[in-house]
Chains A and B, each alone.
Chain A
Amino acid sequence: MKAWFISRIAREKLLLLLFVGAAAILWITDLSERVRMTVRGLQETRAVLKIQAKWLGAKSSIEGEAADAVANLDSSRTFNSLRLSAEISTLAKNAGIDQNLRSEIQPTETTAQFSFNTVVVTLNRVDWVALRGFYDELSQRAPYIGIEQFSLESVRNNPADLNARLTVSSVEISKDL
C-alpha cells in the first residue's frame, strides 16, 4: 500500500490524500454528532430506568402505605364523583345557597385499591353566615370529604357578598377491598 502510494505522481498523491482526508473529516464530523446524541439519549434512558427501578423497588411499601391510608375508612361511607357532587348540593341546599352553587366534576384518579374524586365548587354572591354554615357542614364529612383548595373574595360593589371557590375531594374505596 505504502509502495503503491509513494510510487504515484505528486498530484495523484495529493488528490488521494485530500479525498481520503475529506472523507475522514466528513464522516467523523457526522459521527461525532450522532455519538453525542446517542450518548445523551442513552444517559436519559438510563436515568429514566433508574427512576423507574426506584419506583418499582418501592412498589410494595407504597401499596402498604396506600392500604394503611384507607384502612380506617368505611368503604360504605366513601363518595364517588356523583355522590360527592350530590352531597355538596344537599349541603348547599341546607345552607340556603343552592341557587348560588355551581359544581364541576374533575377527572377521577384511580388505583387498584381506591379512586380519588374531585369537584370544583363555585359559590357566587353568598353571605358570610350561609357560607360558614356550608363549610361547617362540609367539615363534618371529614375525612371522607376534604377541601383541597380554597379562595374567597368580596364582590367589589357590595363587600357583604362573597364569591367562594373550593376544590373538594373525596376518596372512594374499591369494593373488592
Chain B
Amino acid sequence: MSKLSLKLPVLQTRTREVMILPDHRFFMRSVALTDEAEAGSVADQVELALEGMAPFPLSQTLWGYWSKPGCAHALVFATYQKRFTADEMEDWSDAEWVTPALSTLLVESAPVPASTFILKGEEAMTTVHFGDASGVPTLVRAAAIEPGASESEIGKIREQLIRGCGGSTTVKDIDVAAVKAGDAGTDELIIDRGGEEATVALDDAQTLDVRDHTELVARRRARVRDSWLWRGMVAALVAILLAGVAELSLWGTSFYQTTLSEQVQVQSPIVSEIETAERLATRIEELRTKRLRPFEMIDIVSGPRPDSIIFRRTAATGLYSMEIEAETDDAQAVSIFVSDLTDLETTEEVVPLNNETRGSISTMRLLVRFSLDAFDTAAEIEPETKEVE
C-alpha cells in the first residue's frame, strides 16, 4: 500500500537540494566592522564595503558573508553573476542553500587561533586561516585544480596557499563536506564530514547564501508562513483527533445512558406503585384521623356574622382553612366582621383576599385559617377494629 501511495506524485515530498559552488570562483576578503549602532547592521556594512571593492555593480554580484556576534570583522565572498552559466544556475531557485564550499567549514565551531584548514574539493583547493579566536576566518585563499593534475602539482598548490596565509601553528587537511537539506519543515542543513553529521539552522546559515538577498528575505518569510500554516494544520488535526475521541466517548456515554434509561423503564412501574401506595396511605391515614369539617367551619364563621352579610360561596381549602365569598349592603359591617372573626379563639388568621364595592353592595373574599383545636375532636368516632382471631 505504501509503495503504491509513493508512486502517486501528489503524495511525494519534493526533493530539497543544496548547491555547493567551487570557492575559486569567488574573491574573498576580510572586512573590518564597526559598532552596529553607529554604522548600521553587519549586512549594510558588508554591502557598503562590497560597493567599494567589487569591480562590477552589486546588482550583478553574487555575494555572501560570515561574521559572528561581537566579531570585529566579517569574511565577505563575492563573484560576478555571469561567471556562472544559465545551466549552472538552473536549479538555484528551488535550492535551499547556494554557497561556496568553504561555508561548510564556517558554520562549525570556532577553531583555536592561528589554525589553517586546507579544504580540498574536486575543482579547487582553499585555505581558510583563523587568525583569532572569533571563529570568523581572517584570510581565505582559493586556487583551482586543473583536471588531471598530478599529486605533486596539487602539493605545490597546497604549499603556496599555506605560505600565503603565514603564521599558522596548525594546518589541517579536510575534504569538502557533503551537505544536504533536512526534511521539509525542519529548516536545517545536515553537514556530513566523513560520516559525522552536524545540523545547522537554515536561518543561521542564510548570510552565507549568495543568491539575491531580497529573494532570501522572501524565502525566510515563506518559511515563517509555512511554519504557522503547519501549526494551524496540526491544531486542526489535533482538534479532529480530539473530536474523534470525544465522538467515541459520546458513543460510549449514549450506550451507558441507554442502559440507564432501560433501568428507569424497568423500575418505573414499581416506583409508580410505591408512590401510589404512599399517597393513598397518607389519604387513608387522613381519612382515619383527620376529617374535613366544612359545616363545623361554617358554624364558626357564622357566629360573629352580622345579619347584613350574606355568604354567597364557601369552600374548604384544607383541613383547617376555608375561603368565603360574601356580600353586604353595609360596608362598615365588613371590617367589623373581619375583626370579630380574628378575635375568635378558634381562628388563627383571617386574610382578606379581595374587597370590591359596586354602588351600595360590597363584595368580599376572605381566607380563614382555623386553629388546630378549633373542632371538637373528642367527639371523633373511633373506627371499629377488626377482631383478632
Determine which of A24, A112, A116 lies in contact with B243 in the assembled complex, contact meaning CB atoms within 8 Å. A24
Cα–Cα distance between A65 and B276 once the two chains are bound (Å): 12
Evaluate contact between A17 and B287: CB separation under 8 angstroms: no
Which positions 259-302 of chain B face chain A at CB distance < 8 Å? 260-261, 263-264, 267-268, 270-271, 273-281, 283-289, 291-292, 294-295, 298
Given contacts A20-B236, A111-B276, A154-B312, contact A42 B260 (CB under 8 A): yes
Residues of A within 8 A of B325 (CB): 153
Answer yes or no: B222 CB below 8 A from chain A CBs. Answer: yes
B216 within 8 A of A: no
B230 touches A2 (CB 8 A): yes
- Chain B, interface size category, equals 35 or more
Are A153 and B313 in contact (CB-based, < 8 A)?
yes
The answer to whether B315 and A55 have CB atoms under 8 Å apart is no
- Which A residues touch B230, using CB under 8 A? 2, 5-6
Cα A4 to Cα B281 in complex, Å, equals 76
List of A residues within 8 angstroms of B287 by Cβ: 142-144, 146, 169, 171
Is the CB–CB distance between A150 and B274 below 8 Å?
no
A64 to B220, CA, bound (A): 85
Interface membership of chain B positions 296-338, coded 1 if the CB is closer than 8 angstroms to chain A and 0 otherwise:
0010000000000011111110000000010000000000000
Cα(A111)–Cα(B283), bound, Å = 13
Q: Is B253 part of the binding interface, using a Cβ–Cβ cutoff of 8 Å?
A: yes
The segment out of A66-74, A81-89, A90-98 that lies at the interface is: A66-74
A75 contacts B386, C-beta separation under 8 Å: yes
A38 with B257: CB separation less than 8 A: yes
Instruction: Give 1 or 0 for each of A42-71: 1 = CB within 8 Å of chain B CB.
Output: 100110110110011011001101101110
Indicate which residue in B256, B260, B291, B314 contacts A139 across the interface (CB closer than 8 Å). Answer: B291
0/1 interface trace, chain B 43-71, chain A, CB 8 Å (1 if under): 00000000000000000000000000000
> What are 7 A-B residue pairs whose CB atoms fall within 8 Å in the complex?
A3-B184, A4-B184, A5-B233, A52-B264, A63-B277, A112-B273, A142-B380
